[in-house]
């Protein structure tokens, strides 16, 4: 088994590496590749950012201010009233 991984081999292992699911020898091989390969290191940083970005994008929006909700309800009531 060679010590250095190719970029393809390293990238195939990055998810398991990030989750701590690799055996120690494989973790060291991925770590060593990340130390010397700036492209895979950037790819790994992007991979690690995905959960935070997803949480941000999927988080429920803050409710509107009470005054805005009341103004909208009032406008809707006004619109639904019969006009003379």
pLDDT, one tens digit per residue, over 30-61 is 999 999 999 999 999 999 988 888 888 887 77
Asked if residue 7 lies in contact with residue 40, where contact means CB atoms within 8 angstroms, the answer is: yes
Q: Report which DSSP code applies to 19.
A: T
Residue 9 CB coordination number (10 Å): 14
| Model confidence band, residue 78 (pLDDT cutoffs 50, 70, 90) | confident
Asked if residue 54 lies in contact with residue 24, where contact means CB atoms within 8 angstroms, the answer is: no
Can you give the pTM of this predicted structure?
0.63
């Amino acid at each position: 088994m060679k010590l250095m991984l190719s970029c393809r081999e390293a990238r195939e292992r990055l998810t398991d590496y990030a989750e701590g699911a690799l055996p120690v020898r494989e973790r060291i091989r991925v770590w060593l590749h990340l130390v010397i390969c700036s492209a895979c290191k950037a790819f790994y940083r992007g991979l690690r950012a995905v959960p935070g970005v997803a949480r941000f994008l999927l988080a429920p929006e803050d409710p509107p201010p009470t005054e805005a909700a009341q103004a909208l309800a009032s406008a809707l009531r006004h619109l639904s009233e019969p006009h003379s």
